[in-house]
A and B are shown apart, each in its own frame.
Chain A
Amino acid sequence: MNKRNRFNYIALIFVLVIIAGVVFALVMLSSSLRAGKEHEDKPDEVRLLMSWWGNDVRHLYTMEGVDGYQEKNPGIEVDYRYGEWNGYEKRTKVWMESNNEADVMQINYAWISEYSPDGTGFYDLYELSDYIDLDSFTEEELSYGEKNGKLNALPIAMNTHTFYYNQDVLDAYGLSIPKSWDDLFAMAKVLAPEGKYVLGMAKKQTFLFLLAYYEQSSGKQFFDEDGSLAIDEAGLTELLKFYRSLIDEHVLCPVDDFDRSEYMSGTYAGTMCWISDTKIYCDGLAETGVRVTRGMYPKLAGATRSGWYVKPATMWAINADTDHPEEAAKLLNYLLTDPDMVTLQQTEKGVPVSDAAVAVLMEEGLDQTNEYKATQEMNEHQEEFSLIIPNMENENIIDAFKSGADEYLFDKQSVEDCAKEIRKEMLDIITAQE
C-alpha cells in the first residue's frame, strides 16, 4: 500500500469513527430527549372512587389490595370510602340518591332490587366483558347479579348463616352440639345458672334466627317472594313470645348486650354468623387455644320449611354513570380474580365463587378452612336453603322489629300491641319502597 492510499485509508477510518461518534451522541441525545418527553407526556391520571363496608381486617387488606392495583395500573389512582356496616346502608342511600356514588362499590344483594329495579341503576357488566373474566362464574352465580337482563353486580362469595360453638364451654358443662330448638332450651337450663347464654348474636342475625323459627313452626314464609310482608299479627305475636322465652331462658343473649368480646370470653357458648364472618368469630377464639366446633341448624320436628336462606355474600358493582367504565371494570376484575388480591382477601368475605380465585386459594389450603367446610355443607344441602329475599336484610325493617320487640321485652306494651305496631311499621317501609 503506497503512502497516498495509506493516508486515504486512515482518513476513511477517521471519518467513520467520527460518524459513529456523532450517531452515538445523537442516539444518547434522543434517548435523553425521549426520557424528558415521556415525563412530559405522562398520560392524564384517571381517578376512581371505590367504596366498601367492613371491619378493620377488611379495611386494611382492601387498602393494601388497592395499592397493588395502582402499582399494576400506573396512571389510575383509586380513592376510597369505607365504614362499618352499621350506618353504611344509610351512607349508601345518601350517595345513591344524590348521584354521588363511587365508581366501584361493594353492594349488598338486596340493593340491586332497591336501587336498580329495572336493571339500569348499576352499570351493565355484560358491556364490560372484555375487561372482566365472566367465565370465572357459573350462569347461576351471574344470575344473582342480573336484573332485567343486565348484569348489575358480581358476587364475591355465596353466604349463609352458620353456627359456631366454643367446644371448651360445651365440654365444661357436659353439653353437645344442639340439633333442635328443644336442644337449645335444654342447654340453656344448664348454662343460665352460670350467667351464660347458649347463643349470642348481632341484631340482624337475631332477626333471621327468629325468622327461621317462624317459618319452621308455621310452615309459612315471613316475606313473600316479591318482598311483601306475609306474616300476620298472630304470627308476629307468637314469634315475639318465642323471642322473649329465648331471652328469659338464656337461650339468646339480648341484642343490646351482645358483645363479641363476651363470645370470646365464653359468656355465650355459641354464635350464629355469616360464613363470611367465620374469621372474626373463630380465628380469634382459636388463637386463644379454644377449640371451635361448627354447629348444626336447629330444626323443628315435622317442619316443612327450613327457614334458612342463602345469598351472595357481598357483590361488586359499577356506577351506572361512571366516567371511566373500562378502568372501573379492570378494578372490579382485579378485586374478584387477581391472585394477589385473592391472597390478601382469603375467605374474609366467604369462599369466593370465582373459579380463578378458588384456584389460587386451593393452593393455600382453602379446603382446610371452616369457611370452606361450611360452604361445602351449604352446597350439599342446597334444597334446604332458599335464595334470600332482599327485605330480610332491610335495615329499617330489622330496626322496626327490634325496636318494637323491645317495647314488649321491657313490658312497655302488650305483645299484641307490639305485634300490631311492628307489622304496621314494616308495611309502611315496604309500601315506601314501591
Chain B
Amino acid sequence: MAKRKTKKERSGDRFHHYQIELLVVFVTIILVVTAILSFVILGLSGRVLKRMSSDLIAANSRQLELNINSYLERAETISTLLFSDESYYLYDATDESLSEYDKIKCEEKIRDRIVDIGLMENYSDFGIIYSDDHRVGWISHGTQELFPEGGLYAAFSDYIVNPKKNDGWCFGINGSTDRLYYVKRLNKNAILVSAFYTRELSSVFIYPEQLEEMTIRLVNEDNTIMFSSDFDEIGTELPAEIAENLCGGNEDYIVNANMCRNNWQVVCSVPTKIILSENTKLRQFTLWISVAMAGVFLLLGIFLFARVSRPMDGVVTSLQEKAEIDKLSGVMNKSTFEEYVIGRLADHVEKRVHVFVMLDVDNFKQVNDKLGHAHGDEVIIREGELFRRLYNSETMIGRLGGDEFALYTECVDVERPQVVAAAKEQMEQVLTEFVKEFAEEHKTCGISVSAGICVADKPGIGFKELYEQADMALYTSKRAGKARYTVKELS
C-alpha cells in the first residue's frame, strides 16, 4: 500500500520550516546590517579619513617648512660669524704685498676661527676659497674632486645670486647630489663655502609616525629633488604625477607643498591607498567580527532550536492531536477522518481499490443502561484499541459518533475481487476478536459488532458515495440480524 505523509507530519514539517526561515531571516538581518555598517558608514569614514589625513599632512608640511627654514638660516648665521673680525673676512690670499709669513699667520688665525664656529656642526665643507683657488679651512676632497681642472672659485662665485646679502645656495654642482652648498662673499677675492650632506636633512625632516609612509622632498625651483626621504630620488626630477598636483593631489596621491627659503619647496606626498589602508583594515575587521557574530547567533539559534523547539514541537503535536484525535477512542474524530480520506481520494493514483468500512456496536444502549455510561465509554475506548491493533498503520480509523466507527484503506495494483476477499477475511477476524474482547458485555448486554463494507474501484469516487454505500451495507447487516458484515462493491 502507498505510504503517505500524514497531516500531522506535514504540519510538523511546516513548523520546522517556519523555524528555519526565522533563523535564516535573523542571520540575514545581521549580515545586512553589517554590510551597511561596513560599506556605507566605513565608506563615509574613508572620505573623512582622507580629508583629515590631508589636513595632517598640510600641518606637517608647514612644520617641515619651518624646520628647513630654520636649518638654512642657522647655516647662514654661522657663516656670518666670520665677519666678527676684519682679519677673517678682509684677508686676501692673493694679495702679493703680504709676506708668506704674514699669510701663514693670517690663515692660521682664520683656520682657528673656522674650527671654533664650525665646531658643533656636521659640515662636509666649511672653508674659504680665494680667487686663485687657494683654500683655507675644511674644503673637502670630495668638493675638490668636482673640479679636477681647478676653477672652484669661479664656479662657486656664480651661485652668489642674492645681491643684498651677497650669498646663495647651490645644489648639483658638476653633478654632485650628495651635498648642499652655501656660498657667501667675504671680499672681492674670497668666498666662504660651507656644505652639508643632503642626507643630514633627515634630521630636519622628521615626521610623525602616523605618516611613516609619507615621502618628503625638498625641491628647488627647477623641481630637482635635493632631498628625499627616499634617498634614491635625490638629484632626480620631481615625478610628474606629484609635480602636477602640488595643491591637494589626485586620486592616487595626497600632496601638499609649502614654499620655503630660496623659492624651494617642501613637498609631502602619500599614496591614497596607504591612507585608506587603515580604513580597509577597519572594514575587514568589521567584516570578520560580523561573520563571527552571525555565526555565533546562528549557533545560538540552532541551540535554541534544539532546546526550545523540541518541547514546543511536543506542545504543537499535542495540540494537534487534541484537535484531530477522538479523546475517548484514540482514533481520528469524524471531521479529521473525513478530511484525510478526502485528501487521499483526491490523489491521482492509477488502478487502486478503495475499502471503506462502517462499524457499529449492536445493542450498545444496553451497556449504558445496564452497566452505566462510564462503562459505555470504556467499551468505546477498548473498541478503538481493538481496531488499532487489528489494522495496520496504513488504515485510517475514525470514530464518526457514538459507537459508530469507520475504516478506510486502499490497495494499489490489486484486483477488486482479491481486495474483497481480503476485506472479508479481515472482517471475520474483527468479528471474532470483538466477541473475545467483549465477551462479558456480550453476555450481559448482548453486544456485538455489525459492519458494512464498500469496496470500490470506481474512478473519481467521492467520500460521500463511499460513506453512503458502506452505511447502506451496515444497515443491511443490522437488518439481517446484526453481528455480521455486508459487502457492497462499486465499479
Q: Which residues of A contact B (CB under 8 A)?
A: 11, 14-15, 18-19, 21-22, 25-26, 28-29, 32-33, 35-36, 42, 55-57, 59-60, 63, 79-84, 86-87, 90-91, 94, 256, 260-261, 280, 284, 403, 406, 410, 412
A55 / chain B contacts, CB cutoff of 8 Å = 140-142
Q: Is the CB of B119 within 8 A of A91?
A: yes
Contact of A29 with B119 in the complex, beta carbons under 8 Å = no
Q: Which residues of B contact A (CB under 8 A)?
A: 99-101, 103-105, 107-108, 111, 114-116, 118-120, 122-124, 138, 140-142, 144-145, 178, 197, 199, 203, 209, 281, 284-285, 288-289, 291-292, 295-296, 298-299, 302
Please state if B288 and A32 are interface contacts (CB–CB under 8 Å): yes
Q: Give the contacting residue for A29; candidates B101, B120, B288, B298; CB below 8 A.
A: B288
Extra pairs beyond A57-B142, A406-B105 (8, CB < 8 Å): A18-B298, A19-B295, A26-B292, A29-B288, A29-B292, A32-B285, A55-B142, A261-B144
B101: nearest chain-A partner, CB-CB: A410
Instruction: Let me know if A87 and B141 touch, CB within 8 A.
Output: no
Given contacts A261-B144, A406-B101, contact A84 B138 (CB under 8 A): yes
Partner of B141, one of A35, A63, A260: A260
Give the interface centre of B199, B288, B298 by most chain A CB atoms within 10 Å.
B288
Partner of A18, one of B107, B203, B289, B295: B295
Q: Are A82 and B119 in contact (CB under 8 A)?
A: no
- B108 contacts across to A, CB distance below 8 A: 403
Contact call B124/A406, Cβ cutoff below 8 A: no
Residues in chain A near residue B302, CB distance under 8 A? 11, 14-15, 18
Bound: A81/B302 CA distance, A: 69
A256 to B292, CA, bound (A): 81
Interface pair A22/B296, CB less than 8 Å apart? yes
A256→B106 CA distance, assembly (Å)? 12
Note all chain B residues with C-beta closer than 8 A to A59: 124, 197
CA–CA, A55 and B116, complex, Å:
19
Cα A284 to Cα B142 in complex, Å, equals 12
Task: Decide if B101 touches A280 in the complex (CB within 8 Å).
Answer: no
Residue pairs across A and B with Cβ atoms less than 8 A apart, 27 shown, are A11-B302, A18-B295, A22-B292, A22-B299, A25-B291, A26-B288, A28-B284, A29-B292, A32-B281, A36-B281, A55-B141, A56-B140, A57-B142, A60-B178, A63-B197, A80-B122, A82-B122, A83-B118, A86-B115, A90-B115, A91-B119, A94-B119, A94-B120, A256-B104, A406-B105, A410-B104, A412-B101
Given contacts A63-B197, A91-B119, contact A406 B289 (CB under 8 A): no
Query: Which residue of the partner chain B has the closest CB to A29?
Result: B288
Given A63-B197, A86-B115, A21:B295 Cβ within 8 A: yes
Q: Which chain A residues lie closer than 8 Å to B100 at the CB level?
A: 410
Give 3 closest A-B pairs by Cβ, nearest first.
A87-B115, A22-B295, A56-B142
Q: Could you tell me if A35 and B119 are in contact, using CB atoms closer than 8 angstroms?
A: no
The reply to whether B119 and A87 form a contact with Cβ atoms under 8 Å apart is: yes
What are the residues of chain B within 8 A of A256 when measuring CB–CB?
103-104, 107
Report how far A29 CA is from B111 CA in the complex, Å.
Answer: 65
Chain A residues within 8 Å of B120, by CB: 81, 91, 94
Q: Looking at the complex, which one of B99, B104, B209, B281 makes contact with A35 (CB distance below 8 Å)?
A: B281
A87 touches B114 (CB 8 A): yes
Q: Give the distance to chain A from B117, nearest Cβ to Cβ, in Å.
A: 10
Which residue in B122, B144, B285 is a CB contact (below 8 Å) of A83?
A: B122
Nearest residue (CB) in B for A32 is: B285
Residue on A nearest B147 in the bound complex, by CB: A261
CA distance A167 to B209 in the complex (A): 57
Chain A: minimal CB distance from B99 (Å): 8
* Residue ID in chain A nearest B136 by CB atoms: A256
Q: In this complex, what residue of B is CB-closest to A257?
A: B100
Contact among A21, A28, A83, A284 for B123, CB-based, below 8 A? A83
Interface pair A29/B107, CB less than 8 Å apart: no
Q: How far is the CB of B174 from chain A (nearest CB, A)?
A: 14
CB distance from B71 to the nearest CB of A (A): 15
CB of B303, distance to nearest CB on chain A (Å):
9
Residues B124 and A79 in contact, CB atoms below 8 Å apart: no
A410 cross-chain contacts in B, Cβ below 8 A? 99-101, 104
Which A residue sits closest to B231, measured CB to CB? A67
CA distance A249 to B455 in the complex (A): 151
CA distance A57 to B178 in the complex (A): 12
Compute how far the CA of A59 lies from the CA of B179 in the bound complex, rounded to whole angstroms.
12
Q: Which of B111, B141, B284, B295 contacts A86 (CB 8 A)?
A: B111
CA of A102 to CA of B104 in the docked complex: distance in angstroms? 34
Q: Which residue of B lies closest to A15 (CB)?
A: B302
Q: How far, in whole Å, are A90 and B108 apart by their CA atoms in the complex?
A: 15
CB contact between B199 and one of A22, A63, A261, A280 (< 8 Å): that residue: A63
Closest to A259 in B: B135
Output the least CB separation between A111 and chain B (Å). 17
- Chain B residue numbers with a CB within 8 Å of A79 are 203
Contact A87 B295 (CB under 8 A): no
Give the CA-CA distance A80 to B99 in the complex, in Å: 41
Contact with A32, one of B111, B138, B284, B298 (Cβ below 8 angstroms): B284
Contact B197–A60 (Cβ < 8 Å): yes
Q: How far is the CA of A71 from the CA of B284 in the complex (A)?
A: 30
Minimum Cβ distance to chain A for residue B8 (Å): 15
Q: Provide the residues of chain B in CB contact with A28, threshold 8 Å.
A: 284, 288
